[in-house]
Chain A
Amino acid sequence: MATIAELKAYGADTDAALARLMGNEAFYLKLIPRIFDDDNFGKLSASIAEGDLEKAFEAAHSLKGVLGNLELTPLLKPVVEVTELLRAKKEVDYSSYLDEIAAQKEALEALFK
């Protein structure tokens, strides 16, 4: 089970997150693993693969909201970048962003194993 210190070391802005969660660390630690099951990660890569940028934007946008609320900065950063590209409907190579998202997600998941 991860600790606040580990999350801080990972790069999460735990102070901001805990302020939002009324200082409730247990609640914070309980919420984070929920994102691993979030459909929007899968939806994001699948929609990009299909070229459905609108749908991809919606998925990225949703993830941005959640990750922002949890202040998971390393994972949030590539998601925000992707969201803005998709909002502008940029036809770029998204794979490096998706890889970065997957890597950061894995690193986070490792803390909770």
Chain B
Amino acid sequence: MENSVVTFVEDGKRTILVADDELINREILSEMLKDEYNVLTAEDGEEAYEIVKNNSTTISLILLDLIMPRMGGLELLSLIKNKDKLSGIPVIVLTTDQESEVVSLNTGASDFIPKPYPQPDVVKARVRKSIELSEERQIISGTQNDPMTGLFTGEYFYEYAERFDKYHPDVQMDAIVLGINNYQVVHERYGKQKCIELLHHIADGIRSQYPENECILCHKDVDVFFIYCHHIDSHEGRLQKIAEAVNLECSGIRMAMGIYSCVDKNIDISKRFVRARLAYDKLQGNYHNETAYFDDDILNKILFEERLCGDFQKAIKEEQFKVFFQPKFGITGDEPQIAGAEALVRWFHPELNLISPGLFIPLFESNGLIYKLDDYIWHKTCAQIRKWREQYDRKIPVSVNISRVEMHDPNLSNRLIRIVEENGIEISDLHLEITESAYVSDSSVIIERVEDLRRKGFFIEMDDFGSGYSSLNMIGDLPIDALKLDMQFLRNAFNKRNMKIIDIVLEIARCLEVPAIAEGVETEEQYLKLKESGCAIIQGYYFSKPIPADEFEKYYKD
């Protein structure tokens, strides 16, 4: 399908073809139109057809006589209207009798001009009107269809899908999101041109597998296709066919298809595709499966997440978030000594009770609410430190977690310093735990940012060390003041009785000349082993779970 809006105007004038075997008629029309248009002329149907083919993108209108030698006007008209590239050009038929007008209009003529010709103003007005109408239509179809694949673009797709529902209210439908698995990687590896070819193959494959009368198709967001189609039990067969064509072009490409089967027509059409997209997103980077269905698990998860986000502002206002403190103990001496605490957030939801941070922290990291939550936690933590400092003549540093997302905020250190100052405590009272994975994701920027924080006096603990992100190669250069061993890493080591690995990690801390902090210590055995191997600080249920501030006060009193 040819849908690009063509450039009609040449030298500031649109071009018109006058096809009439009578020289005088051609001359009269040319005379009428030459001031406003470039006028081409043809003496018979065949010549006219040649001119149209060679100037398909510049001709704005054809004025066509019906009776001409070699090829008649009606024959030419139907030839033009049946050619994709030419069908958009409007045709006005020049006619002496009304019978042929009906036939012409049925064949696709946009208007007719009688012979003898009306006044020049009338002819010009009809010509102008036909061109305007056709250009408007072209602009609409230009935005309706994606020029690359000819499939609908997003907005129009939804409109047509809704119309489809209106006329087929009882038909069960599936919403499908289809694309190349890990498109970015494929793009990186094979380049843009290859990707465009692949997308063409997918578009063709979709067209052949999803018949037009029961499907609405759309090319969305470069690498993704939307299909709204009659429900079938399994789309795997069709996907296989599409994938075959793609793999002929470029082998090893994996497809991904997210399916929301038997859609609920009570929910908005775009939301149905959000659901298909959620299933699709689950497949990214998953090379085992090519299809995934939207199901109740996904639904419940988003409903739960939507609820958490909806309740967030109120939770902040009502102080439903509480900061708990988990003590850290120095174990280098004979007796464990309180050495600090980690501030941890707890959400006491009025209806959902205690919600695990594992459920809301990643969610708020993904939608940006984390900034507000972090500010809140840091404030509460600093206020608590201040309170303790006033009450007790003793300094117990408290660490807060800096999420990976926070590391991308250039204003981070200013925010932290402001909070410290507002609460009247010292920078050294507040330790920062920065997860190991943050260092790796965008290392040069992040490392610079951490160095900046350190220069300003913050004590930096690298959190989750051993979770497998940083290379030994770079660790020597990282700006850190303590190494905090990953809880899961320790647990695995103990489960597998692999004590050697614990010694190795503690040795790394020694090399870096920073203390090692072990968290998640749950048993005496773990504690003794870590102590024996030279771990400086321990945190975990073996000594204490995270506790509210008032309970934590006992460590000040000791």
Q: CB within 8 A of B96: which of A16, A19, A35, A68?
A: A68
A62 touches B21 (CB 8 A): yes
Q: Which of A2-10, A21-29, A45-53 contacts B (4 or more CB under 8 A)?
A: A21-29
With A34-B23, A69-B116, A69-B117 as known contacts, state yes or no: A20 contacts B96, CB within 8 Å: no
Given A68-B116, A69-B116, 8 additional A-B pairs, CB 8 A: A21-B31, A31-B24, A31-B28, A58-B67, A61-B67, A62-B22, A64-B115, A66-B22
Contacts of A58 in B (CB 8 A): 67
Contacts of A31 in B (CB 8 A): 24, 27-28
B104-136 CB contacts (< 8 Å) to partner A: 115-120
CA distance A69 to B25 in the complex (A): 7
Contacts of A19 in B (CB 8 A): 119
B31 touches A71 (CB 8 A): no
CA distance A27 to B120 in the complex (A): 15
With A61-B67, A65-B96 as known contacts, state yes or no: A70 contacts B31, CB within 8 Å: no
A62-87 CB contacts (< 8 Å) to partner B: 62, 64-66, 68-71, 87
CA distance A27 to B21 in the complex (A): 19
Does B32 interact with chain A (Cβ within 8 Å)?
Answer: yes
B96 touches A69 (CB 8 A): no
Q: Could you jot down 12 A-B contacts, CB within 8 Å? A: A20-B28, A20-B119, A20-B120, A34-B24, A35-B24, A62-B22, A65-B22, A66-B22, A66-B24, A68-B96, A69-B24, A71-B116
A69 touches B28 (CB 8 A): yes
How distant is A60 from chain B, measured CB to nearest CB, in Å?
10
Does A106 interact with chain B (Cβ within 8 Å)?
Answer: no
CA distance A62 to B28 in the complex (A): 15
| B116 (CB) vs chain A CBs: closest residue | A68
**B31, B97, B115, B116: residue with the most chain A Cβ atoms closer than 10 Å:** B116
B25 touches A66 (CB 8 A): yes
A22 touches B120 (CB 8 A): yes
| A71 (CB) vs chain B CBs: closest residue | B116
CA distance A67 to B27 in the complex (A): 13
B49-98 CB contacts (< 8 Å) to partner A: 65, 67, 94, 96-97
B22 touches A38 (CB 8 A): yes
Contacts of B96 in A (CB 8 A): 61, 64-65, 68
| B99 (CB) vs chain A CBs: closest residue | A87
- Proximity string of chain B (505-537) to chain A, C-beta cutoff 8 Å, 1 when within and 0 when not: 000000000000000000000000000000000
| A76 (CB) vs chain B CBs: closest residue | B116
CA distance A24 to B27 in the complex (A): 13
Contacts of B115 in A (CB 8 A): 64-65, 68-69
B24 touches A20 (CB 8 A): no
How distant is A112 from chain B, measured CB to nearest CB, in Å?
14
| A64 (CB) vs chain B CBs: closest residue | B96
**A27, A66, A71: residue with the most chain B Cβ atoms closer than 10 Å:** A66
| A43 (CB) vs chain B CBs: closest residue | B69
Contacts of A16 in B (CB 8 A): 116
- Proximity string of chain B (9-43) to chain A, C-beta cutoff 8 Å, 1 when within and 0 when not: 00000000000011111011001100000000000
CA distance A87 to B98 in the complex (A): 13
**A21, A27, A34, A62: residue with the most chain B Cβ atoms closer than 10 Å:** A62
A22 touches B25 (CB 8 A): no
| A35 (CB) vs chain B CBs: closest residue | B24
How distant is B103 from chain A, measured CB to nearest CB, in Å?
14
Contacts of B97 in A (CB 8 A): 87
How distant is A14 from chain B, measured CB to nearest CB, in Å?
13
**B24, B25, B120: residue with the most chain A Cβ atoms closer than 10 Å:** B24
- 6 smallest beta-carbon distances between A and B, as pairs: A68-B116, A65-B115, A69-B116, A66-B22, A66-B24, A58-B67
How distant is A75 from chain B, measured CB to nearest CB, in Å?
13
With A31-B24, A64-B96, A65-B25 as known contacts, state yes or no: A22 contacts B67, CB within 8 Å: no
How distant is B495 from chain A, measured CB to nearest CB, in Å?
97
Contacts of B21 in A (CB 8 A): 62
CA distance A20 to B123 in the complex (A): 10
CA distance A21 to B32 in the complex (A): 7
CA distance A66 to B25 in the complex (A): 6
Contacts of B65 in A (CB 8 A): 65
Contacts of B28 in A (CB 8 A): 20-21, 31, 69
CA distance A22 to B32 in the complex (A): 8
B116 touches A65 (CB 8 A): yes
Contacts of A62 in B (CB 8 A): 21-22, 67
Q: CB within 8 A of B31: which of A24, A66, A87?
A: A24
B24 touches A70 (CB 8 A): yes
Contacts of B119 in A (CB 8 A): 19-20
Contacts of B25 in A (CB 8 A): 65-66, 69
